[in-house]
Amino acid sequence: MLETTEVAASTRHRTRLRRPATRTLVRGGVIVVLLLFALLALPQLLSLYYVDAMTEVAIYAVVSLGLGVLVGRVGLVSLGQIAVLAVGAWVAARLLFATTQPYPLVLLEAGLVTMAIGTIIGLPALRLRGLYLALITLMVAGAVAIVLASTNFPNGGHGFFGYNGSLVNIPPIRRPSIATSDPAYYRYAVVVAILMFLLVFVHIRTRPGRAWSAIRQSEPAALAAGINTTMYKLWAFALASFVTGVAGGVYAGAAHYLYSIDFPAQNSIILLAVVLMGGAYSLWGAVVAGLLSQLLPALLNNWGVSNDWLTILFGIGVVQVLTTAPRGLADQVPKDLARLGLLLARLVHRPAATTAEGEAP
Amino acid sequence: MIVVTDLTVRFGGVTSLDRMSVTFESGTCGLIGPNGAGKTTFFNVLSGFIRPSSGTVTAFGENLLSMVHYRRARWGVRRTFQTEQAIEELSVYDNVAMVQEHSHRGGSRRDDVLSAISFVGLDIDPRTAVQTLGAGQRRLVEVARAVVGRPRLVLLDEPAAGLPDAETGNLAAVIRQIPARTGALTILVDHDMSLVSACCETTAVLDFGELIASGPTADVLRDERVVSAYLGTEAA
């Protein structure tokens, strides 16, 4: 008797599990429309200046995505992600000068090499958390910046470092043949970003995502669930470094020329700030972080406002977000918009107000 | 059956468990004792979070202490925590699936997970986020995690702490069925004597790290040493 009720209950749940919620469909629709807009319409509408800025947004959205995995999913604070990006850019640049490999292959290789290096950087995370881990990763970022400043980025020279020592006659880093113009390269960057977001999405929705959530909330609970916390922490570093390395490869082609001053260690701190503001726990948060860190400076530049204001703005923004919206703008803005919509609906349809209230969660 | 022999745990100068020797046969066994008696320490030794200074634990013929902590779940050790540890960011389904997928025992994950959820009597959409649940339901999620797959040893650390009486009664009904459903040896730590007597055929009592009594629950609860450990003795 007990068994039959159990089975009945289980089938009932199964049917519930299978039916896709309308909310998911709506969400998927919105994402598809936004992506089509970003890929097809945006390059037509924007000037080259903003197309380039949007390419940077796509790149930094992926970098933010990687940091979001570490900070938001697993609770590991890294202040070295810009150094990881620089490593990816370095590897890609070296390969692009040294070989004639197709661009996607170079991106993959840059991602894999960066993954190996990033995972080594993650080793201290097995022993340290919070402030101490943040300090160690910041020091690694500083070390990478120093090494890059003395060895320089590859610029068509020979040897391991590929630096030709000259400031004239430097060949630009090549772009894929299908995307040599800026608008085409922007689309290329967006497609790569979509692939990286999908990669992370699949991780989050399956076994590693569950394991990371458990580790983030309680390591004893994770261990008691049979989760090898050591392996999953390194896995998070590997994934974050991989996507950041690929982003570095895209950056190399976008910039054409790479200089160590483009990757200062302090940018890693600003990156953490924008990721927290955008929402470290959400994939949308990474897009918001990309917009905040790359489009906003471009806008301010265009309007003639000093970039120093940005640092102040980000400082205030982090405090504001941490006190009033700990899950970031990506979580807070839709909620606020929904609340605003409800208010407007009440103002417009006074009699319908009661039903709207009844439906509100 | 698990056989604990001369188990000693020391934290600096404090001896949390002092040459504890006890055998838990089968079914649901109670483990009670005043605060600080060493109950949770004992669970932490079984989970592998604490390395004892000496002693052995043999579980179903295997040396439990030689296993790495996270592998013990795969072997069949499951537990709940004194402060409930349902993972808030995950859905009910994912909370249970997380344990199932790391126990590698074959079979369909979905059927396993859903049947564990319905076994504990959680009649809600499995996709519900745990952070929206109340305390009682979260406790049930933890119990579902403890029974999914093929557990061999289920450790429940004060599962009824902070629950209202009605929900405790509900939980007791679930706990009583765990051995029949899973075949696992279940050890229940709780301060709620009505819960312990409702669920456990046998009970062991710890006080200051020492085992002071064990046997059929009703007899143990009448034992003079147990009563005085809980209530103290009148000054002569």
**How far is the CA of B227 from the CAs of A265, B59, B234, in angstroms?**
64, 30, 12
pLDDT digits 0-9 by tens, A1-21: 344 444 444 444 444 455 567
Residue A195: CB atoms within 10 Å: 15
For chain A, give every domain's residue range. Answer: 46-307
Q: Is residue B179 a contact partner of residue B1, using CB atoms and an 8 Å limit?
A: no
Q: CB–CB of B102 and A225 under 8 A? A: yes
Amino acid at B54: S
At residue A233 the predicted structure's pLDDT band, cuts being 50, 70 and 90, is very high
User: Residue A135 pLDDT > 80, yes or no?
Assistant: yes
Tokens of A329: 């703008």
Nearest-Cα distance to chain B for A211, in Å, is: 7
pLDDT over 90 for what percent of chain B? 41
Amino acid at A8: A
> Domains of chain B (ranges plus CATH)?
2-88+151-231 (3.40.50.300)
- CB-CB: which of A17, A216, A228 is closest to B70? A228
- The pLDDT assigned to B104 comes to 63
- Give the chain B residue nearest A205 (alpha carbons): B94
User: Residue B177 pLDDT > 60, yes or no?
Assistant: yes
- The pLDDT assigned to A182 comes to 92
Nearest-Cα distance to chain A for B223, in Å, is: 34
Greater confidence, A51 or B36?
A51
Q: How many cross-chain Cβ pairs, A to B, lie less than 8 Å apart?
A: 89
pLDDT digits 0-9 by tens, B83-114: 889 999 899 999 999 998 887 666 678 888 99
User: Residue A351 pLDDT > 70, yes or no?
Assistant: no
Greater confidence, B36 or A67?
A67
- B127 interaction partners in chain A (CB closer than 8 Å): 16-17
Amino acid at B2: I
- The pLDDT assigned to A128 comes to 81
At residue A173 the predicted structure's pLDDT band, cuts being 50, 70 and 90, is confident
Q: Does B24 touch chain A (CB under 8 A)?
A: no
Torsional sign, CA A262, A264, A266, A267: positive
Smallest Cα–Cα separation from A321: which of A309, A306, A336, A307?
A: A336
**pLDDT-wise least confident of A64-68, A160-164, A210-214, A248-252:** A160-164
For an interface test with A, the pick among B99, B111, B150, B178 (most A C-beta atoms closer than 10 Å) comes out as: B99
pLDDT digits 0-9 by tens, A260-289: 888 988 899 999 999 999 988 889 999 999
Q: Does A211 touch chain B (CB under 8 A)?
A: yes
Provide the chain B residues 129-188 that lie in CB contact (below 8 A) with chain A.
145
User: Residue A81 pLDDT > 60, yes or no?
Assistant: yes
- CB-CB: which of B71, B102, B118 is closest to A13? B118
Q: Does B81 touch chain A (CB under 8 A)?
A: yes
For an interface test with B, the pick among A210, A212, A234 (most B C-beta atoms closer than 10 Å) comes out as: A210
pTM of the shown model: 0.87
- The pLDDT assigned to A10 comes to 46
Q: CB–CB of B90 and A210 under 8 A? A: yes
Region of A146 please: left (phi>0), alpha (psi -120 to 50) or beta: alpha
Please provide the CATH number assigned to the domain covering A46-307.
Answer: 1.10.3470
Q: CB–CB of B85 and A216 under 8 A? A: no
Provide the chain B residues 201-230 that lie in CB contact (below 8 A) with chain A.
none
- The pLDDT assigned to A349 comes to 77
Smallest Cα–Cα separation from B28: which of B183, B147, B137, B144?
A: B183
pLDDT digits 0-9 by tens, B208-228: 888 888 889 988 888 888 888
Q: CB–CB of A223 and B48 under 8 A? A: yes
Q: To the nearest whole number, what is the mean pLDDT of chain B? A: 88
For an interface test with A, the pick among B74, B80, B102 (most A C-beta atoms closer than 10 Å) comes out as: B102
Q: CB–CB of A226 and B97 under 8 A? A: no
- Give the chain A residue nearest B73 (alpha carbons): A226
Kindly state the average pLDDT of the residues B18-24. Answer: 89
Q: CB–CB of A221 and B88 under 8 A? A: no
Which value does ipTM take for this structure? 0.89
Q: To the nearest whole number, what is the mean pLDDT of chain A? A: 86
- Give the chain A residue nearest B123 (alpha carbons): A9
Residues B88 and A161: their CA atoms lie apart, in Å, by 48
Please work out, in degrees rounded to the nearest 5, the angle formed at the alpha carbon of residue A169 by the alpha carbons of A168 and A174: 125
Nearest-Cα distance to chain B for A116, in Å, is: 25
Helix (H) / strand (E) element for B7: namely strand B2-11
- A14 interaction partners in chain B (CB closer than 8 Å): 110, 114
Q: CB–CB of B87 and A6 under 8 A? A: no
Torsional sign, CA A105, A109, A115, A121: negative
